Structure 1
Amino acid sequence: MQRIKELTITSGPSGPECEVQHNSRAIVFSAGGYTGNVFHDFNDGLIPLFITINSIYKNQDAVLVVSKARDWWLNRYKNLLHVFSSHPIVTLDNDTSTHCFPSATLGLMSYGFMALMPNSSQTLLHFRGLLDKAFGHHGQYSIFNSPPKSDSPPRLVFMSRSKGIGREILNQDEAVKVAKEIGFDVILFEPTGKISLQQAYGLINSSHAMVGMHGAALTHSLFLRPGSAFMQVMPLGIDWVGKMCFGEPARAIGIQYIEYKIKVEESSLVEKYEKNDMVIKDLASFQGRNWSSDVMKIYLKEQNVKLDLVRFRDYLMETYSKAKTFMEKMG
């Protein structure tokens, strides 16, 4: 929260003279905080923005007034921001003019991890429709191969993680080989700042399945089409977080969701902790401690995974079956 600038709303005529007069109302929010991590970009910013616009302005066009709107953030999300509002964005840190609005809302509404109000106008499926409007139909497939043809096998996006940041799949190459043996057309994909959201959307929206280790990059599962398949690899200690951040949202969109919960022997933590250690044996008790200092460090940053490929093959075959059925249904 220390990265969020505190703002005060004032009302005329005692305020400064207007230099820019707007006829539309304003939504004022911050792009600071945890932004820069794709999960938090959506969870803390873009989804709450969608909720706020629908709840307060009922889809009426509003002016977006943004604090801490850095150039990279504006460039990365400009297509989606333009879907939210047709007006030029007012950036508080760069614009020194005095802007006046009929009314303004400060801050955004949120109901939990990747959560929207359960009514007809604020579902994740509606939010995904906005993503399609913003990032779809650009035809940017070239960096990943061409779109799949009607006689192609189901396409699987295998999400990859960088080394040294935790939760790496140590035998990833072997796991990819198993997926290919089953029949998938596999594309190994590691999202980076150099890959635009239009390009990522073009790849994932044209695919039939996604597999990946729990992490922020799985936010890209929002780009999957309803009916496609999505398998989340769940390391030790991540059950609740994994379900809330990615499992439940996937189901809300209509994606066929599968969880691969690793066994203790698949975790690198067994090399550091005894089997009777609370970290291994009693996850629930250990997670009662402070998340940021203990749980996050151990389960998210210290842990890597070596998949049991025999067991993993069974889950991949289930994923293939669902993806194949989806592909045939979509023609």
Structure 2
Amino acid sequence: MGTDSPSPSTAPVALGARSAVRAVAQHHQAVVGFLVGFFLVLLLYTTVSSQFGSQAAIGVLQSVRTDENAMTPTSPSSMPSNVTQGDNMKEENKGQKIDEHKKMEEDRVQHDVHGIEKSNQTEAKFDDEKEENPEQAGQTVNDASDRMEEELIRQEIDQGGGKNDTNIQPVTPRKPICDLSDPRYDICEISGDARTLGANRTVLYVPPVGELGADSQEWSIRDQSRKYLEFVNKVTVKSLNASQAAPECTSRHDVPALVFAMNGLTSNPWHDFSDVLIPLFITTRALEGEVQFLVSDLQPWFVDKYRLILKNLSRYDIVDFNQDAGVRCYPHLTVGLRSHRDLGIDPARAPRNYSMLDFRLYIREIYSLPPAGVDIPYKEANRAASGATTAEQHRKPRMMLINRGRTRKFVNFPEIVPAVENAGFEVIPIEPRRDLSVEEFSRVVDSCDVLMGAHGAGLTNFFFLRTNAVMLQVVPWGHMEYPAMGFYGGPAREMRLRDVEYSIEAVESTLYDKYGKDNPVISDPESIHKQGWRSGMRYYWTEQDISLNVTRFAPTLHQVLQMLKQ
């Protein structure tokens, strides 16, 4: 065989090489699928080059380049047929060169048989089919290659290939940041970029770039626990859209913030706790002080009176929201206070299942009162004096007797005090004042075993009583048992206090002398309540005082005394 051009015996080799190169050129992304075939072609090319010289190899490569666009992919498994075609050469070329070539071809096949045996077995069937129907075989290869290329492209897309721009996540619709569904309160929760414009009573939410849409959202809510209370001014909460520019931050904070109001019905201790302090506890206690308060309609007297509670719920300075001229930026911000019911907590809805008992013990801890395991003062004192020889050396149970200064006050208070003392109690009479120090007053209440008073805000001091102490509530005339239980009796029991109620008769109410026994105010209180809460408020909360019948009241005092001794 000469070295100037490839002989007929090299045609299958060139065809195999052209097919492999063509397949690689057309389907470079499917290189994994054709890796074995390409390797075999490359191995064959190396063998041929070593046998027939560099000129033949150059001729093969030139042939591949020339016919690249006209190639039809074939399987490298056709290479073993070179042995048969070598026999054909024997007829055309007599002599030593033919025998020498045959020997070299047989040596090559023997050398490669172990490396390509499995590939030949797999693709031999394909070669046979190709000989019978070459067009269909070529189409089958192309279809398979296309499918492999499509699969590689799909995998690249799924894996976030850098060259593919289709890996863009769809914009997730924004959910409302304000919840107006609760019958008691409205609340807005912003997680992300929250910015405050206190002087405008406005809070802004700046959504991430991927969530900015063409529309903006806006709410206006009362930022306290009573959503329909007209005394509470509203705060505006806005979610910006793509066309609205966010104001620059003048200060950035790492902790969450809470915007809430201190005005409304506050200044009445019951409303102080029911409308602000208990909702504040529900909303922020789980944060363990890591929250800043932005107070709209700030009341300096409120901050001063309840400073220990406020400082414990937040370790940061209180901001007067309405007077704040800067733009404060927070990672999380809440507007409004959560509330479950009047002077109450629903553990099922509270973080960490907080209850009214948790709140009472929390308040006692803040004011440095004895812990929960300490018994009522009456038992503690008598336990310490257990070595005494006479009953007179034992301390009497102590009762704080609250006399209201205006409505529902005891008009015969001077008569009540000795009656209580005669029943076996030590009496501490008190008329609560707004300027009374909570720290000092809490210690006085803690020293008592009983807290007695007419239905009203003074009984809110039961938070400072010890477990198993008694709250004795005098219920005014006018079907007042329901609010008496709802506002005080129920919460007292939830806090593991003992609740005793004494409902007065009509003649013990000053309304009896004012309107007479036949007036519906006395004879038919239900008809008064049906006229609306304003009518009930007028007669039974505002106009009524109490003249307690101490004789009728004596059995109730005896009941309380026996409870304390148990």
Deviations 1:39-85 (A, max 9, x none): 1110011111111225xx56572211111112111100110011211
Deviations 1:105-125 (A, max 9, x none): 111111211110134632111
Residues 73-112 of structure 1: pairs in structure 2 closer than 5 A: 73-112=302-341
**1:215 positional shift:** 1.0
- Residue of 236, 239, 250 corresponding to 2:492: 250
Structure 1 Cα separation of the partners of residues 313 and 353 of structure 2: 14
Residues 268-287 of structure 1: pairs in structure 2 closer than 5 A: 268-287=510-529
Aligned to 1:132: 364
Write the letter of the residue equivalent to 1:96: A
Alpha-carbon distance change, 97 to 137 in structure 1, aligned in 2, over 3 angstroms: farther
| 2:248 is the alignment partner of 1:6 | no
Which has more helix, going by share of residues?
A: 2
Structure 1 Cα separation of the partners of residues 298 and 449 of structure 2: 34
When Rg is computed on C-alpha atoms for both structures, the one with the higher figure is: 2
Give the secondary structure class of the aligned counterpart of 2:459. Answer: helix
Contact 2:289 2:313 in 1 (8 A): no
Structure 1 Cα separation of the partners of residues 312 and 274 of structure 2: 18
Write the letter of the residue equivalent to 1:161: R
Aligned to 2:470: 229
Contact 2:369 2:446 in 1 (8 A): no
Contact 1:159 1:190 in 2 (8 A): yes
**1:204 positional shift:** 0.8
Aligned to 1:46: 277
Write the letter of the residue equivalent to 1:6: K
Aligned length: 311
Structure 2 Cα separation of the partners of residues 136 and 323 of structure 1: 24
Residues 1-331 of structure 1: pairs in structure 2 closer than 5 A: 1-10=229-238, 14-54=245-285, 59=288, 61-119=290-348, 121-137=353-369, 149-150=381-382, 151-162=394-405, 165-237=406-478, 238-292=480-534, 294-325=535-566
Contact 1:80 1:130 in 2 (8 A): no
**1:2 positional shift:** 3.3
Contact 2:401 2:453 in 1 (8 A): yes
Identity %: 31
Write the letter of the residue equivalent to 1:45: V
Structure 1 Cα separation of the partners of residues 519 and 449 of structure 2: 40
Contact 1:30 1:69 in 2 (8 A): yes
Give the secondary structure class of the aligned counterpart of 2:237. Answer: coil
Structure 1 Cα separation of the partners of residues 239 and 395 of structure 2: 61
Give the secondary structure class of the aligned counterpart of 2:458. Answer: helix
Structure 2 Cα separation of the partners of residues 128 and 189 of structure 1: 22
Kindly indicate whether structure 1 or structure 2 has the higher relative contact order, using CA contacts under 8 Å at least 6 residues apart.
Answer: 1
Write the letter of the residue equivalent to 2:485: K
Contact 1:136 1:201 in 2 (8 A): no
Aligned to 1:329: none
Structure 2 Cα separation of the partners of residues 136 and 217 of structure 1: 21
Contact 2:455 2:476 in 1 (8 A): yes
Structure 2 Cα separation of the partners of residues 225 and 192 of structure 1: 22
Structure 2 Cα separation of the partners of residues 10 and 304 of structure 1: 49
Give the secondary structure class of the aligned counterpart of 1:9. Answer: strand
Structure 2 Cα separation of the partners of residues 171 and 94 of structure 1: 48
Contact 1:230 1:319 in 2 (8 A): no
Structure 2 Cα separation of the partners of residues 250 and 65 of structure 1: 31
CA RMSD of aligned residues (A): 2.0
**1:156 positional shift:** 0.5
Deviations 1:275-309 (A, max 9, x none): 232211222222112212x1111111211111111
Structure 1 Cα separation of the partners of residues 325 and 369 of structure 2: 37
Give the secondary structure class of the aligned counterpart of 2:331. Answer: coil
Write the letter of the residue equivalent to 2:550: L
Write the letter of the residue equivalent to 2:236: T
Structure 2 Cα separation of the partners of residues 195 and 323 of structure 1: 28
Structure 1 Cα separation of the partners of residues 256 and 310 of structure 2: 16
Alpha-carbon distance change, 70 to 263 in structure 1, aligned in 2, over 3 angstroms: same
Contact 2:288 2:314 in 1 (8 A): no
Structure 2 Cα separation of the partners of residues 137 and 260 of structure 1: 29
Which TM-score applies when normalising by structure 2?
A: 0.53
